[in-house]
């Protein structure tokens, strides 16, 4: 599918005032996307678990405007309060998608949005937020053009979400999503995320992800800056090649349910992501002392008990602790007793693998 497929073609009906609402989740990458080309095209494919509890709920109210307009017209409310700080990011998103969403300038939009997780938790809300907004826009497109299918809506929502924030394209569906062209994943594309339809071992159903909130502050280096530092990075080409190979390996692991291999690959991916940051020019470190304390505690506990607890990291200091359902009692006990002490104000979020966005 090429980008032209996402250019809408429907009669210019004007809708009356109305609203649509979506809840869209966050996701956690197992093989990471780090480095992009122009137009949010990833340098390498990535694969993620969709989450269930960490979600953004967005209500989009649309009202037709009279006449023709050169600019967008919208207001943003976050958790019930007018929010000017989110507007530039949404304005940029609208500019990027305007050719694919021609009705954007014909309506005034009120965007009412909220997260199920605390805004200042250090959890990136861009994946859930951008995917929720993209899905709302696709619901409006569906009202204008009822013939479009759910498959098309999901694909285009993912395509649009990607233009808002790369990893957001992996938040539309669940429970496992691949984004980026890979020769062994049928239908995979650089333009949107696709649901992973290969065989998956039952151990990965209900897989847990407890997110330990080590640092709830604003990141010192944004993902955008981080991605850009992969241009002219001395290890970039090898890293992109490695990610492709790691997707192939992950495919075998997801089928076999070999948790030791799963943990080894997931943790290596997390540390490689942060190693890329540390080897950038300029270099930077997003992990905090407590990130390393937690990692060492996990390694010690795993060596002592043989339980299948492993971690991954986003572009930040928080630690995602992943483990299977049948070991959850013992691992939760360990998290409570040993790891919560390293979280800011003792805060953490219990999440698990989820099945994608829902219209409300
Ligand atoms: O979607 P962005 O541009 O915020 O980048 C996210 C990159 C990582 O979270 C570090 C990795 C990933 O694949 O989600």
Instruction: Identify the CATH number of the domain in which residue 323 sits.
Output: 3.30.70.890
Q: Are residues 82 and 160 in the same domain?
A: yes
| Domain co-membership, 187 together with 257 | no
With respect to residue 61, please indicate whether it lies within any of the assigned structural domains: yes
**314 in contact with ligand 1, CB cutoff 6 A:** yes
103 CB less than 6 Å from ligand 1?
no
The last residue of one of the domains, among 198, 217, 244, is 198
Instruction: Encode 344-356 in three state secondary structure.
Output: HHHCEEEEEECCE
Convert the pLDDT of each residue in 141-187 to its tens digit: 999 999 999 999 999 999 999 999 999 999 999 999 999 999 999 99
Whether residues 41 and 69 share a domain: the answer is yes
Question: Are 100 and 137 a contacting pair, CB within 8 Å?
Answer: no
Is residue 176 within a helix (H) or strand (E), and if so which, with residue range?
A: strand 176-179
pTM above 0.85, yes or no: yes
Last residue of a domain, one of 156, 179, 198: 198
CB of 46 sitting under 6 A from ligand 1: yes
> Closest residue (by CA) to atom 10 of ligand 1?
315
Residue 237 lies in a domain: yes
123 Cβ inside 6 Å of ligand 1: no
Q: Decide if 357 is inside a domain.
A: no
**CB of 165 closer than 6 A to ligand 1?**
yes
Domain extent at residue 236: 205-352
**Core vs surface per residue 237-251: b (16+ CB within 10 A) or e:** eebbebbbebbeebb
Q: What is the CATH number of the domain that holds 122?
A: 3.30.230.10
Per residue in 235-292, pLDDT (tens digit) is 999 999 999 999 999 999 999 999 999 999 999 999 999 999 999 999 999 999 999 9
What is the total count of domains within the chain? 2
Q: Is 315 in the pocket of ligand 1 (CB under 6 A)?
A: yes
Q: Tell me what the mean pLDDT of segment 105-125 comes to.
A: 84
In the block, residue with structure tokens 């080409």: 237
Ligand 1 pocket mutation, candidates 179, 226, 314, criterion most atoms within 8 A of CB: 314
Q: What whole-number distance in Å separates Cα of residue 152 and Cα of residue 149?
A: 5
């Amino acid at each position: 599918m090429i980008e032209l497929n996402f250019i809408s073609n429907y009669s210019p009906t004007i809708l009356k005032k109305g609203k649509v609402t979506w809840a869209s989740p966050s996701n956690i990458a197992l093989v990471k996307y780090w480095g992009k080309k122009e137009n949010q095209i990833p340098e390498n494919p990535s694969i993620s678990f969709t989450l269930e509890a960490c979600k953004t709920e967005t209500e989009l109210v649309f009202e037709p405007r009279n006449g023709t307009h050169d600019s967008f017209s919208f207001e943003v409310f976050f958790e019930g309060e007018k929010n000017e700080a989110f507007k530039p990011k949404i304005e940029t998103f609208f500019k990027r998608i305007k050719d694919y969403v021609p009705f954007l300038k014909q309506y005034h939009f009120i965007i009412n949005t909220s997260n199920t997780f605390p805004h200042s938790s250090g959890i990136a809300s861009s994946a859930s937020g951008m995917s929720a907004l993209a899905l709302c826009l696709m619901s409006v497109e569906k009202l204008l053009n009822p013939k479009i299918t759910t498959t098309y809506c999901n694909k285009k929502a993912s395509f649009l979400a990607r233009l808002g924030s790369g990893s957001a394209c992996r938040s539309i569906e669940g429970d496992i999503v691949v984004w980026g062209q890979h020769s062994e994943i049928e239908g995979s594309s650089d333009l949107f995320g696709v649901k992973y339809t290969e065989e998956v071992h039952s151990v990965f159903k209900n897989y847990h992800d407890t997110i330990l909130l080590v640092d709830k502050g604003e990141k010192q280096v944004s993902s955008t800056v981080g991605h850009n530092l992969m241009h002219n990075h001395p290890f970039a080409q090898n890293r992109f090649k490695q990610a492709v190979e790691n997707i192939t390996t992950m495919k075998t692991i997801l089928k076999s349910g070999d948790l030791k291999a799963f943990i080894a690959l997931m943790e290596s991916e997390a540390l490689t992501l942060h190693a890329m940051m540390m080897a950038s020019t300029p270099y930077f470190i997003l992990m905090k002392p407590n990130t390393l304390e937690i990692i060492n505690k996990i390694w010690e506990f795993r060596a002592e008990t043989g339980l299948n607890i492993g971690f991954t990291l986003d572009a930040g200091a928080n630690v995602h602790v992943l483990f299977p359902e049948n070991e959850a009692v013992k691992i939760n006990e360990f998290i409570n007793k040993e790891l919560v002490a390293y979280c800011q104000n003792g805060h953490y979020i219990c999440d698990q693998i989820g099945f994608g966005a829902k219209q409300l």
